[in-house]
Structure 1
Amino acid sequence: MINKNKKNPKILTLIPARLESKRLPRKPLRLIDGVPMIVRVAKRAEKISSGEVIVASGNKEICNILSKQNIKSYLTRSDHKSGTDRIYEVYKKLKNKKFDFIINIQGDLPFFKKELIRKTLSLMNDPNVDIASAVCDLKKDEINDQNIVKARVELDNKNNGFSYDFFRKVDKIKNCFHHIGIYVFNSSSLKKFVNLKPSRLEKKRNLEQMRAIENNMKIKVVKVSENPPSIDTPEDLKKIRLFYRSFSLNNSIKLTKNEGSN
């Protein structure tokens, strides 16, 4: 729960990244206007976050590129079962630092906005919340797209609600929303999550959210109006490169020529 008497809670933002994506190999290093995706995600997080930003990666190549951009990273084990397990390894290395909240932002969200972070973080005001996240409207043509994770939620009149299931494919759109890859934990809920064994539905659906759901952890989500584009496939990458041209972002990010992947 957010301490309302504490004006500036200490926040740590962690971004998991790995090269071994099956749908889009070497995804974090794919170039968007000449800059690797993971650099864009990290720079975006640094721009809008009020705290420390660190990339957690099991690949030296990613860490080396980030180092050249003065972006902090930690080399993790390569065999983690989920992004949250990966960021926890980094969190443990920072045990001498105390954080009120840990934000896990997926490494394929290069254009998220500050409002998304603010609204998701505000859900931690509810003492019943273990994990906070976000959703947006699910389009009809996304129903059968297994690259898009769906959250089933009963929303209240403030567009907040507890999610009780996550899917890759659904038959009906009712109470189903497009899940956005951001999670907020406190130190207790993060530790609890990673100490749980991967659950049956987590392994079946390849969705780490189900580990929390099947162990009665409470995931509260906020519905936001805009969906920050994520990149899972070559088609997504083509779209994001076009989207970049119309996105209002600081274009001063520079990278040594030929770093990253086309």
Structure 2
Amino acid sequence: MINKIKKTPRIVIIIPARLKSVRLSTKLLKKIDKIPMIIRVAKNAEKLKIGRVIVGTDSDKILKLCNEFKIECILTDKNHKSGTDRVHEVYKIINRDYDLIINLQGDLPLFRKDLFKEMINLFNDESVDIGSAICDLEDLEIEDKNIVKAKVILNNSNVGMAIDFCRKIEKNINFYHHIGVYAYRPLILEQFIQLKQTKNEIERKLEQMRALDNNYKIKLVKVSYNPPSVDTAKDLQKIRLIFKKNNF
């Protein structure tokens, strides 16, 4: 039986950092107010003071950069199929016991502590295997295939079990904008890595479908804001303006 999460759980935040990217070349090295994006993300995570922060990368450049900024970084296999595989390798290398593993995307330079607190609280429910977050879906995002949508019926506490994930929807009924940050129990991450890719995962290019298709329970919490990800040059420009305007 899986126990409830401890009042002060042992947490490790692992940031999978692949150098190559499709839509924005080497985006993790792009500078935001003179600081490379991957460093922005890692330093922001360290400021949360909720657990150990480690970058897992396939790149000597990112490894060197992290060392310069005194960020813990581990060089991983270059041939991983997904960020979750990289997170798993890092967890196996550090060989420590943690209550929760948080998979934080390296292209999310703006996030707040409450996002992680809400996700951690999800694990007080013993049935939860994986935790993640959602926010309201904007009208302009409905037809945008780059925005992942999560279908969920929320309770009065703004939480609920994921029903489906997709990129394209006909009507916005019980769909929300999915925020790509995950928390796993270590045993669940170990099991997930052993599963074969499912048809839905391959067709939708959504790794979380492997968990849903194998009946793992993904609990989602709705938060009040959307931490913007950087996928394109336009996204990067927006983020740079936000940093400049707010003097981060």
* TM-score interval for Structure 1 and Structure 2 normalised by the shorter chain: over 0.9
Q: What is the match of residue 253 of structure 1?
A: none
Q: Normalization by structure 2: what TM-score? A: 0.96
- CA displacement at 1:115 relative to structure 2: 0.3
Task: Map 1:70-89 to 2 at 5 A.
Answer: 70-89=70-89
- Amino acid across the alignment from 1:16: P
Q: What is the match of residue 245 of structure 1?
A: 244
Comparing 66-75 with 167-176, greater Cα deviation is found at: 167-176
Distance 1:187 1:129 in 2: 12
Distance 2:50 2:158 in 1: 25
Q: What is the match of residue 181 of structure 2?
A: 182
Q: 1:247 to 1:59 in 2, by over 3 A?
A: same
Q: What is the match of residue 157 of structure 1?
A: 156
Across the two proteins, how many residue pairs are aligned to each other?
247
Matched residue SS, 2:16: strand
Distance 1:133 1:247 in 2: 27
- CA displacement at 1:8 relative to structure 2: 2.0
The list of structure 1 runs, each at least 4 consecutive aligned residues, that deviate by more than 3 angstroms after superposition, is 1-4, 246-249
Contact (CA 8 Å) 2:23, 2:232: kept in 1 or not? yes
**CA deviation string 1:173-194 (max 9, x = no partner):** 1111111111111111111111
Identity across the alignment (%) = 51
Q: 1:9 to 1:70 in 2, by over 3 A?
A: same
Task: Map 1:192-203 to 2 at 5 A.
Answer: 192-203=191-202
Q: Normalization by structure 1: what TM-score? A: 0.91
Q: What is the match of residue 32 of structure 2?
A: 32
Contact (CA 8 Å) 1:151, 1:166: kept in 2 or not? yes
Contact (CA 8 Å) 1:148, 1:178: kept in 2 or not? yes
- Amino acid across the alignment from 1:167: C
Unmatched segments (≥5 aa) in structure 2: none
Q: What is the match of residue 107 of structure 2?
A: 108
Distance 2:79 2:177 in 1: 28
Distance 2:170 2:78 in 1: 35
- CA displacement at 1:166 relative to structure 2: 0.9
Unmatched segments (≥5 aa) in structure 1: 250-262
Distance 2:190 2:145 in 1: 29
Q: What is the match of residue 65 of structure 1?
A: 65
RMSD: 1.3
